[in-house]
């Protein structure tokens, strides 16, 4: 049987255990995004209005200006984790329950907290509407509600856009694994990534095509190479001699480098190379990655989903409120951003331990009973 026809191998780790270095990578991804949103995203030139009391003091610092690439690292992790999860699922219903239990409880809490906090706390940078719960809690896009139902709503927080990418990837992964062929999952994942890349190339030449616009929604080509590279890295993690998995990961790297190099004068390609090098080291289980398995990073990584959902709008508003309360601005107000970040990290860890993880277990158990899913397969924490 060729490498492209092998079924997804099960993880040698105990199903109830987390992969420490993977949580560490999650932490790095989330903290990078937090830094980007707290120092670069909401000041000119990226935003017309300056929402920071410290203005653009650190906006061009590379660790912050390229922090948005943390989302791409999240996508690599997601591709890996979803493949691991599929290896532990007997049915599509089992997979769907696990994903719902993982995503929905934290989203419900985060969207509600964001709605309440931004309605009562000054300054009011963003307008909160009840209809914003619609795309947020369904992991869909506001465009759908505007054009199908005439409801003008937004995500409760801007970072939720990436969840719409994620759920489409989950749907494709489940279809390829349960609906097409488990034994050819890697091959089919590679083919789907190639289709997505082709769509992105065609968009460059036929930018106004309605058909390609639809294909963009279906195949999310700008981010598919990251997610399917994560799939390939799971197979490398299991067997470093799997040449077909290496080929798919390299294809994803070339595609992402090409996308980044299309921006003349930009240095994003350097970050792309760094992220692939980092994840290659993880997949090969190199000793150097032990640093990401430390208790601080793994705690943040385990709670990274809640932190990601909560940090942006609440954090920016809190920074503005504290600056106004203490009457500080400029360089003197920079520490406020770090104070808010630390506070939200600690709050997210508490939320994960006291709410998110218990809720995941409870929803999983209820979902299994409701849908009568056979849970003879081991549970995996993803």
What pLDDT, in 10s, does the model give residues 122-131? 999 999 999 9
pLDDT at residue 2, rounded to an integer: 46
- Over 70: is that where the pLDDT of 15 sits? no
Among 225, 181, 167, residue whose Cα is nearest residue 8: 181
288 domain residue, yes or no:
yes
CA dist 65 and 271 (Å) reads 11
Q: What is the value of pTM for the model shown?
A: 0.93
pLDDT at residue 354, rounded to an integer: 98
pLDDT at residue 377, rounded to an integer: 43
Average pLDDT over residues 1-15: 53
pLDDT at residue 371, rounded to an integer: 77
382 domain residue, yes or no:
no
Give Cα separations from 17 to 11, 49, 78, 79, 291 (angstroms).
10, 45, 17, 19, 18
3-state secondary structure 211-227: HHHHHHHHHCCCCHHHH
> What pLDDT band is residue 152 in, cutting at 50, 70 and 90?
very high
CA dist 115 and 134 (Å) reads 12
Average pLDDT over residues 265-270: 86
* Structural domains counted in the chain: 1
Among 262, 201, 202, 257, residue whose Cα is nearest residue 229: 257
- Over 90: is that where the pLDDT of 18 sits? no
pLDDT in tens, 28-63: 999 999 999 999 999 999 999 999 999 999 999 999
- Over 70: is that where the pLDDT of 6 sits? no
Cis ω for the linkage preceding 140 (within 30 of 0): no
- Over 80: is that where the pLDDT of 264 sits? no
pLDDT in tens, 69-119: 999 999 999 999 999 999 999 999 999 999 999 999 999 999 999 999 999
5 domain residue, yes or no:
no
Among 170, 202, 212, residue whose Cα is nearest residue 75: 170
CA dist 60 and 374 (Å) reads 52
Burial of 62 (0-12, 13-18, 19+ CB in 10 A): exposed
Q: How far is CA 183 from the centre of its chain?
A: 27
pLDDT at residue 208, rounded to an integer: 83
Among 377, 356, 330, 369, residue whose Cα is nearest residue 102: 356
Could you say which DSSP state residue 285 is in? T
Instruction: Kindly write down the DSSP assignment for every residue of 83-99, as one continuous string.
Output: HHHHHT-SSHHHHHHHH
Q: Strand, coil or helix: what is 48?
A: coil
Task: Report the mean per-residue pLDDT for the chain.
Answer: 92
- Over 90: is that where the pLDDT of 266 sits? no
Least confident range from 150-164, 228-242, 363-377: namely 363-377
127 domain residue, yes or no:
yes
pLDDT at residue 280, rounded to an integer: 97
Cis ω for the linkage preceding 245 (within 30 of 0): no
pLDDT in tens, 173-183: 999 999 999 99
pLDDT at residue 16, rounded to an integer: 45
pLDDT at residue 375, rounded to an integer: 53
Half-sphere exposure of 165 (CA within 13 A, CB side): 22
The proportion of the chain whose per-residue pLDDT surpasses 90, expressed as a percent, equals: 84
> What pLDDT band is residue 204 in, cutting at 50, 70 and 90?
confident
378 domain residue, yes or no:
no
> Any idea how long the chain is?
382
Residue 109 belongs to domain spanning: 12-371
> What pLDDT band is residue 194 in, cutting at 50, 70 and 90?
very high
Could you say which DSSP state residue 377 is in? S
376 domain residue, yes or no:
no
- Over 80: is that where the pLDDT of 68 sits? yes
CA dist 275 and 288 (Å) reads 15
105 domain residue, yes or no:
yes
CB 317 within 8 A of CB 118: yes
193 domain residue, yes or no:
yes
pLDDT at residue 378, rounded to an integer: 42
């Amino acid at each position: 049987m060729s490498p492209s026809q092998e079924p997804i191998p099960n993880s040698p780790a105990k199903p109830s255990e987390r992969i420490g270095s993977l949580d560490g990578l999650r932490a790095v991804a989330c903290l990078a995004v937090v830094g980007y949103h707290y120092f670069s995203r909401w000041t000119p030139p990226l935003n017309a209005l300056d929402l920071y009391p410290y203005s653009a003091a650190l906006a061009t610092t590379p660790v912050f200006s390229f922090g948005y690439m943390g989302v791409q690292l999240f996508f690599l992790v997601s591709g890996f984790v979803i493949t691991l999860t599929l290896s532990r699922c007997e049915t599509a219903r089992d997979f769907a329950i696990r994903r719902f239990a993982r995503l929905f409880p934290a989203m419900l809490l985060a969207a509600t907290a964001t709605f309440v906090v931004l309605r009562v706390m000054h300054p009011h940078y963003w307008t909160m509407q009840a209809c914003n719960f619609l795309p947020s809690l369904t992991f869909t896009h506001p465009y759908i509600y505007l054009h199908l139902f005439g409801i003008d709503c937004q995500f409760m927080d801007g970072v939720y856009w990436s969840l719409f990418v994620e759920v489409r990837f989950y749907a494709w992964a489940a279809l390829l694994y349960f609906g097409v062929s488990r034994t050819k999952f890697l091959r089919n994942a590679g083919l789907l990534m190639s289709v997505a890349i082709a769509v992105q190339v065609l968009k460059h030449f036929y930018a106004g095509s309605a058909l390609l616009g639809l294909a963009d929604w279906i195949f999310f080509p700008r981010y598919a190479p990251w997610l399917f590279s994560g799939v390939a890295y799971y197979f490398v993690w299991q067997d470093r001699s799997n040449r077909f998995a290496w080929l798919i990961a390299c294809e994803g790297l070339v595609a992402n480098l090409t996308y980044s190099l299309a921006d003349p004068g930009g240095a994003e390609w350097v970050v792309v190379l760094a992220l692939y090098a980092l994840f290659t080291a993880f997949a090969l289980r190199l000793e150097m990655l032990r640093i990401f398995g430390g208790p601080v990073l793994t705690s943040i990584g385990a709670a990274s989903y809640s932190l990601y959902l909560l940090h942006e709008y609440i954090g920016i508003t809190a920074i503005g409120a504290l600056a106004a309360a203490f009457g500080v601005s400029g360089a003197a107000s920079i520490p406020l951003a770090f104070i808010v970040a630390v506070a939200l990290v600690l709050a997210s860890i508490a939320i994960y331990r006291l709410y998110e993880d218990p809720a995941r277990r409870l929803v999983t158990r209820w979902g299994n009973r409701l849908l009568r899913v056979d849970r003879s397969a081991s549970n995996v924490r993803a």
